[in-house]
Amino acid sequence: MATETGPWPLNDEPGSGRVEIDLRALRVIGTGTLGMAVVLSFLSLPDVVLCPLRRWTGIPCAFCGMTRSVVALVHGDVGSSLALNPGGVLLVAAAVALLVTWSTQRVEVPTWWVGAFFATLWAYQLAKYLEGRPL
Amino acid sequence: MTFDDRITIATPEGVDLELTLAGLGTRFIATLLDVLIQFGAILALSFAVGFSSIAGGGGGGVLLALYYVGIFLILFAYDVVLETWNHGRTIGKLAAGLRVVRADGRPVNFVTSAVRNIVRIADFLPAFYGVGIVTVVVTRRSQRLGDLAAGTIVVRTAKQPAAAPAGWADPWRVPAPAHPDWDVSAVTGDEVVAVRRFLERRWSLAPDARARLGYELAARLAPKVPGADPRSVPEAFLEGLVAVKATRG
């Protein structure tokens, strides 16, 4: 049982503090995603938009193009992968890094990093949308 | 993925509060129930608006505006209102035995609830709470993005409120008057500060936490106060202790 040893009272500001991430869980998810990408890279992907936000409003979410980005990277097409969604490259890099750093079980990062990661990905997709570039 | 689902929060009174984190399964059940209730409410609203437009004829624009406001309230205000005024519990969470609390164990307020429910949109992406599920699984305190942003956690509620130890009175009874016969000289200044801090913030604590902290502080300090009835109402004892200490030092 872990003990939270933060200052009391804890900072009330939303988004403050640090978050402890279980790398074992992330490793399983990352490896599964990589495996799925390898399988998908041998299949012809149907042109279906699964994201409800984009499907109903046309506006991309932070993860639009992520599957195609990972598949492109598996095919060795780094340029297309980055253009589709840089998050795909980060995802593959993180999945490989997690396998390399097998012994590390947990990592603690500032909470705002998590928010900044999603916000950056979303901002990139929205910029593409506003510029009329293919999503 | 073998994180312990219990966390212990150290309080200033020196009493550790142990909370059990909600798992993915119970959170799913709670969310499913809430979504079904919201869906039912939207369906009922749609029928009501449809019926009104057929029966009423004019005012279609106003009706449509009210319809959208109604949908917004059902989708967003449902969670925020219930979490804020029902001790962190929506109907789904109540049924699943869950409660949203702040990371330090205190109840959620309007701002924290609003933040965690606005960020729910991001948690839902890319579909069916994909981001939310991943973040709940990989974070130590099983937090989705909304919880991380608001500084909240979802915990299991105690099956029963903290029961009074044998011989102790109910904690909510009217405080007893000060006791001139108490000898409080053995109680240290730090202990009085801890008691005072507990008494100041007791109304912001969840009922379980408040009762437990009160009992533990009273049980720890009662032996140091000759003349005090160890089976008195905990908070009345603590109030009396602070009052007597203030007059005599």
Q: What tens digit of pLDDT does each residue of B71-125 get?
A: 989 988 999 999 999 889 999 999 999 999 988 777 888 999 999 999 998 898 8
Q: Are residues B145 and B65 part of one domain?
A: yes
Disruptive mutation site among B8, B20, B104 for chain A (greatest number of A CBs within 10 Å): B104
Q: Which of A6, A8, A61 sits opposite B125 (nearest CB)?
A: A61
Q: How far apart are CA B68 and CA B185, in angstroms?
A: 65
Q: Cβ of B24 under 8 Å from any chain A Cβ?
A: no
Contact B125 A111 (CB under 8 A): no
Q: How far apart are CA B63 and CA B225, in angstroms?
A: 67
Quick one: average pLDDT of B209-230? 84
Q: Is residue B114 part of a domain?
A: yes
Query: Encoding tokens for residue B76?
Result: 């967003």
Q: Are residues B121 and B179 part of one domain?
A: no
The length of chain B is 249
Alpha helices in chain A (DSSP H): 23-41, 52-57, 66-74, 78-84, 86-100, 111-131
Closest Cα in chain A, distance from residue B124 (Å): 10
Q: Are residues B92 and B195 part of one domain?
A: no
Q: Are residues B143 and B68 part of one domain?
A: yes
Give the residue extent of every domain in chain A.
23-43+50-103+112-131
Q: Cβ of A66 under 8 Å from any chain B Cβ?
A: yes
Please tell me which residue of chain A has the smallest CA distance to B148: A15
Q: Are residues B149 and B173 part of one domain?
A: no
Query: Encoding tokens for residue A67?
Result: 């599957």
Contact B135 A114 (CB under 8 A): yes
Please tell me which residue of chain A has the smallest CA distance to B147: A15
Q: Which residue has the higher pLDDT, B245 or B79?
A: B79
Contact B33, B95 (CB under 8 A): yes
Disruptive mutation site among A5, A19, A122 for chain B (greatest number of B CBs within 10 Å): A19
Q: How many CB atoms lie within 10 A of CB B57?
A: 8
Please report the pLDDT score of residue B190 as a whole number. Answer: 85
Query: Of B200, B224, B227, B199, which is closest to residue B214 (Cα–Cα)?
Result: B199
pLDDT tens digits, A7-38? 333 344 444 578 888 898 889 988 988 888 88
pLDDT confidence of A52, banded at 50, 70, 90? confident
Q: Are residues B194 and B225 part of one domain?
A: yes
Last residue of a domain, one of B156, B177, B197: B156
- Average model confidence (pLDDT) across chain B: 82
Please report the pLDDT score of residue B95 as a whole number. Answer: 94
Q: Could you report how far apart the first and last alpha carbons of chain A are, in Å?
A: 45
Q: How many CB atoms lie within 10 A of CB B46?
A: 13
pLDDT for A75 beyond 80: yes
Q: What is the sign, positive or negative, of the torsion defined by CA atoms of B21, B24, B25, B31?
A: positive
Contact B165, B229 (CB under 8 A): no
Q: Is residue B120 part of a domain?
A: yes
For residue A102, give the 3-state DSSP assignment: coil
A110 torsion bin: left (phi>0), alpha (psi -120 to 50), beta (else): beta
Q: Is residue B78 part of a domain?
A: yes
Last residue of a domain, one of B156, B173, B193: B156
Q: How far apart are CA A32 and CA A22, in angstroms?
A: 16
Q: What total number of domains does chain B contain?
A: 2
Q: Which of A9, A106, A115 sits opposite B149 (nearest CB)?
A: A115
For residue B150, give the 3-state DSSP assignment: helix
Q: Which residue has the higher pLDDT, A124 or A40?
A: A124
Contacts of B102 in chain A (CB under 8 A): 10, 12
Contact B104 A8 (CB under 8 A): yes
pLDDT for B26 beyond 90: yes
Q: Which residues contact B43 (CB under 8 A, 6 or more apart)?
A: none
Disruptive mutation site among B35, B140, B200, B204 for chain A (greatest number of A CBs within 10 Å): B140
Q: How far is CA B229 from the centre of its chain?
A: 32
Please report the pLDDT score of residue B161 as a whole number. Answer: 53
Q: Which residue has the higher pLDDT, A68 or B12?
A: A68
Element (H, E) at B248: helix B234-248
The length of chain A is 135
Q: Is residue B177 part of a domain?
A: yes
Q: Are residues B74 and B30 part of one domain?
A: yes
Closest Cα in chain A, distance from residue B232 (Å): 29
pTM beyond 0.90: the answer is no
Please tell me which residue of chain B has the smallest CA distance to A3: B8
pLDDT for B167 beyond 80: no
Residue appearing with tokens 């932070």: A62
Query: Of B141, B100, B139, which is closest to residue B9 (Cα–Cα)?
Result: B141
Q: Are residues B132 and B184 part of one domain?
A: no
Q: Which residue has the higher pLDDT, A56 or B159?
A: A56
pLDDT for B171 beyond 70: no
Last residue of a domain, one of B156, B175, B207: B156
Alpha helices in chain B (DSSP H): 24-56, 60-72, 78-85, 91-96, 110-118, 120-124, 130-138, 145-150, 189-201, 207-221, 234-248
Q: Are residues B84 and B149 part of one domain?
A: yes
Q: Is residue B1 part of a domain?
A: no
Q: Cβ of B197 under 8 Å from any chain A Cβ?
A: no
Q: Are residues B69 and B139 part of one domain?
A: yes
Quick one: average pLDDT of B186-211? 82
pLDDT for B53 beyond 80: no
Taking each helix axis as running N to C, give the angle between helix A86-100 and helix A23-41, from 0 to 180 degrees, rounded to the nearest 10: 120
Contact B125 A62 (CB under 8 A): yes
Please report the pLDDT score of residue A11 as a whole number. Answer: 43
Q: Which of A2, A111, A115 sits opposite B4 (nearest CB)?
A: A2
Contact A106 B143 (CB under 8 A): no
Query: Encoding tokens for residue B148?
Result: 């991380």
Q: Are residues B178 and B63 part of one domain?
A: no
Q: How far is CA B99 from the centre of its chain?
A: 6
Contact B149 A64 (CB under 8 A): no
pLDDT for A98 beyond 80: yes
Query: Of A113, A98, A80, A84, which is closest to residue A32 (Cα–Cα)?
Result: A98
Domain that holds residue B72: 6-156
Q: Are residues B120 and B32 part of one domain?
A: yes
Contact A76, A60 (CB under 8 A): no
